[in-house]
Amino acid sequence: MNDEQLGILYQRIAEVVVDIIPEEWSKIYLYGEIVGGSQTAYFYYYPEGNDNPVYSHDITELFTVSESEYSEKWHQLVDAIQKLWREFKDNDQETWTNLTLILENSGKFNIDFNYDDLSNADAHERKTIWKYKHLGIMPKSNSGKRHLEKYLEMVGKENK
């Protein structure tokens, strides 16, 4: 696989995310998923000097960003993630089901690919676990708490 092409794709994803954020930030946690022809993406970012993360889909409520402007940029983000996935597929690499990209305002980034079969996994469950693992955010809903408890039990058994 062409490392230069991968670098261009990573850069594009980072540029789109940064373009969506309407304020100075210190760190971004992006989740992208491609499963069975459907895809999603969302991220949380930490505003500069603030320990409370902002959820990407809340930007239009918190700032003077129109729904249409946000939606257009969000679609650009999903498209960029799809292009990255296709790069893996077109180069006979194992295709991942989801990724987590962590970007610091210094430009340093880390990307982790996950290859788990998500066809039977619930989207709410995946999001709850991802938020807990990467941001330490505890679920508020009872179903989210049950998903997290089940996950923590499973991880506990695997680590024994």
Packing angle between helix 123-135 and helix 142-158, nearest 10 degrees? 70
* Whole-angstrom distance, CA of residue 118 vs CA of residue 106: 33
Nearest 5 degrees, angle CA 90-CA 13-CA 28?
A: 135
Residue 66 pairs in a beta bridge with none
The fold for domain 3-119 equals: 3.30.500
Please give the average pLDDT of every successive group of 10 residues along the chain, which has 160 residues: 89 97 98 89 97 97 96 97 95 94 96 85 85 91 88 77
Distance of CA 127 to the CA centre of its chain: 9
CATH 3.30.500.20 domain extents, the chain: 3-119
Q: Where are the alpha helices (DSSP H) in the chain?
A: 3-20, 59-62, 67-90, 123-135, 142-158
pTM, two decimals, is: 0.89
Half-sphere exposure of 62 (CA within 13 A, CB side): 12
Q: Which two tokens mark 135?
A: 């941001």
Please state the φ and ψ torsions of residue 114, each to the nearest 5 degrees. Answer: -120, 140
**Is residue 12 a contact partner of residue 80, using CB atoms and an 8 Å limit?**
yes
Q: Which pLDDT tens digit goes with each residue over 10-53?
A: 999 999 999 999 999 999 999 999 987 789 999 999 999 999 99
Please give the pLDDT value at position 160. 66
The one-letter amino acid code at 107 reads G
